[in-house]
Structure 1
Amino acid sequence: MDINNQPDLMRLIQIKFPRLSKGQKLIAEYILKYYDKAAFMTAAKLGVSVGVSESTVVRFAIELGFSGYPKLQKALQELIKNKLTTVQRLELSNDYISEENALKGVLKADIENIRATLEKINHKTFEEVVNNIFSAKRIYIIGLRSSSALSEFLGFYLNLILENVNVVGNGISDIFEQMINLGKGDLVIGIGFPRYAVKTINALAFAQSRGAKVVAITDSLLSPLAAKSDYTLIAQSNMASFVDSLVAPLSVINALIIAVGMREKDKISATFNNLEEIWKEYNVYSSSKSLYEER
């Protein structure tokens, strides 16, 4: 079963319920009632919680049309990730990340996010986005709340390469006031991950209404940002406790910056030579030599 095209999972379980075995019905009842907890349980742990064997849990997943329990678990996580509050995330994380294994657990999860992103991202779309960056009259980048770090990072480096980049953010003026001159020929890059910021979604809808091209950097083609975009770059961002994992999105943004920079090598070289002189004159960066001399 493709979780991106499946009917509502809860409805599917209800439809299948009469034909399930006694043990499978116990699993179905548990998931319908505690799907937020079940989404982060292994097959063995779910079996213990319900009072059935691990193999019964696996057969239950297959009965629903999944190739195995991991696919069912993924579908449950997709179902809930946009609905969980930060407090609920924190409570659920206790089931799979403890204080003792936080470092190892989070790093392994981030490695998996990058691996999954490499598999999911469309390379042709990536190249089309790079082409649109160069053909745009003006570029607007918007990413709010936790995604603001990503938008600022992308904006900082694109501003060193190009001269038409604007980072839209929460400030004195409203986001729509910052995009008032948006129109055809412009490009808007929207960045957002669960829980999606409503203002970012509205900004992309506004961009579409003005005839601008829209790029979404988000976690899924089912994302509300993807629904408002012409191009979507998928970067996996599974939650790690109350913190959104932004490692894979940042890696995709790094790749965008490098791809743009490689086409403007001469300009970048001149820009950084100029910057080095400014940094040196105004002591922007510390120097190990000057620190030694101060001693």
Structure 2
Amino acid sequence: MNDLITKIQSELPGFSKGQKQIARFILEHYDKAAFMTASRLGTTVGVSESTVVRFATELGYDGYPHLQRALQEMIRNKLTSVQRMEVSSDRMGGKDVLQTVLHADMDMIRMTLDELDREAFQGAVNAMMGARRIYILGVRSSNALANFVGFYFNLLFDNVTLIQTNSVSEIFEQILRIGEGDVFLGISFPRYSKRTLSAMRYSKDQGASVIALTDSHLSPLSRVADHTLIAKSDMASFVDSLVAPLSVINALIVAVGMSRKEEIEKTFNSLESIWEEYDVYEKPEDETN
């Protein structure tokens, strides 16, 4: 963030009058500017959209979206919940909330598809397939993702530990014996969890293979991980968007499942018998009645 701000400050004297207005707004309100379209930013400071695009080019970016992404990447762990609420409110304006949120989620999936490293994904699958034990941790809103992974992995494997997160000490008690041959999956999105990061570091130090499911290679989780799975999360809202992360998790579960197809078919055949015997699911009504 400091590099970008310093660059804008140093080049400020050479900007045109309109570009100076854009620069000053970004310097004073970069948290809001990061989530404004070129058109919205231009309207806010009183210049044309083309002036905003030229400003981004002057800074060395291919276009405004690249400047906007640079701002977002640099501030993603700095926005408080109150700031995110303000950004969300400003971003929505008088728009249709349902349409805006669903379109944003679709954009997150598209960006994830473009940025997710296929080799990292396959590396994560291979690590889990050969793991002595798999540990899964996600706290706060990421706990829902961890529980989803844990539910299906417990059907696919008999060596899964879904880490409970009541306290920091309990987390380390549950991963006390982690070591070589084990895999640790850590899940966290801005604002990043210190508990998850600490557990990942400990697991790495003990010789385990570490997988991160996070939003960016700039994420602190990525610096610890052996395999980083990027899933975009829209932080321009006080509600964490988990659509893209859940899609990546779905792909991970399916990929692991396809690698153990015969074994998993036997597992689900057994489960179907159990579900039938113990009346687990509601049965369709007899159409003849």
- TM-score band, normalised by shorter chain: over 0.9
Query: 2:78 aligned with 1:65, yes or no?
Result: no
Whether the 8 Å contact between 2:183 and 2:210 is mirrored in structure 1 is: yes
1:137 is matched with which residue: 129, 132, 137?
A: 132
Deviations 1:219-276 (A, max 9, x none): 1111000011111111111235211111111111111111111121222122112212
Identity of matched residues, % = 56
State how far apart, in whole Å, the 2-side matches of 1:99 and 1:256 are: 38
1:233 is matched with which residue: 209, 229, 232?
A: 229
User: How far off is 1:80 after superposition?
Assistant: 2.2
Whether the 8 Å contact between 1:148 and 1:169 is mirrored in structure 2 is: no
1:113 is matched with which residue: 108, 111, 117?
A: 108
Whether the 8 Å contact between 1:121 and 1:233 is mirrored in structure 2 is: yes
1:163 is matched with which residue: 158, 172, 187?
A: 158
User: How far off is 1:66 after superposition?
Assistant: 0.9
What letter is aligned with 1:29? R
| SS of equivalent residue, structure 1 residue 95 | helix
**2:183 counterpart residue number:** 187
1:246 is matched with which residue: 242, 245, 250?
A: 242
CA 1:159 to 1:10, structure 2 compared with 1: closer, same or farther past 3 Å? same
Whether the 8 Å contact between 1:157 and 1:257 is mirrored in structure 2 is: yes
User: How far off is 1:101 after superposition?
Assistant: 1.2
Deviations 1:206-228 (A, max 9, x none): 11111111011111111000011
| SS of equivalent residue, structure 2 residue 220 | coil
**1:53 counterpart residue number:** 48
Deviations 1:167-192 (A, max 9, x none): 11213761101101111111101111
Per mean C-alpha deviation after superposition, the further-off stretch among 138-147 and 280-289 is 280-289
2:256 is matched with which residue: 260, 265, 283?
A: 260
Query: 2:135 aligned with 1:147, yes or no?
Result: no
What letter is aligned with 1:255? A
State how far apart, in whole Å, the 2-side matches of 1:254 and 1:292 are: 37
**1:213 counterpart residue number:** 209
**2:275 counterpart residue number:** 279
CA 1:240 to 1:22, structure 2 compared with 1: closer, same or farther past 3 Å? closer
Whether the 8 Å contact between 2:184 and 2:203 is mirrored in structure 1 is: yes
State how far apart, in whole Å, the 1-side matches of 2:94 and 2:7 are: 37
Structure 1: unaligned runs, 5 residues or longer: 1-5
State how far apart, in whole Å, the 2-side matches of 1:46 and 1:222 are: 26
Deviations 1:81-125 (A, max 9, x none): 211112211221122225751111111111111111111111112
Query: 2:40 aligned with 1:20, yes or no?
Result: no
CA 1:30 to 1:225, structure 2 compared with 1: closer, same or farther past 3 Å? same
User: How far off is 1:132 after superposition?
Assistant: 0.7
What letter is aligned with 1:21? S
User: How far off is 1:42 after superposition?
Assistant: 2.1
TM-score between the two structures when normalised by the length of structure 1: 0.91
2:193 is matched with which residue: 194, 197, 204?
A: 197
State how far apart, in whole Å, the 2-side matches of 1:115 and 1:192 are: 20
What letter is aligned with 1:187? V
| SS of equivalent residue, structure 1 residue 244 | coil
Return structure 1 stretches of 4+ with deviation > 4 angstroms. Answer: 290-293
**1:3 counterpart residue number:** none
The aligned length equals 288
**1:85 counterpart residue number:** 80
What is the root-mean-square deviation in Å for CA atoms of aligned residues?
2.0
Per mean C-alpha deviation after superposition, the further-off stretch among 177-186 and 236-245 is 236-245
Per mean C-alpha deviation after superposition, the further-off stretch among 95-104 and 84-93 is 95-104
CA 1:205 to 1:44, structure 2 compared with 1: closer, same or farther past 3 Å? same
Per mean C-alpha deviation after superposition, the further-off stretch among 168-177 and 241-250 is 168-177
What letter is aligned with 2:279? N
2:89 is matched with which residue: 91, 94, 100?
A: 94
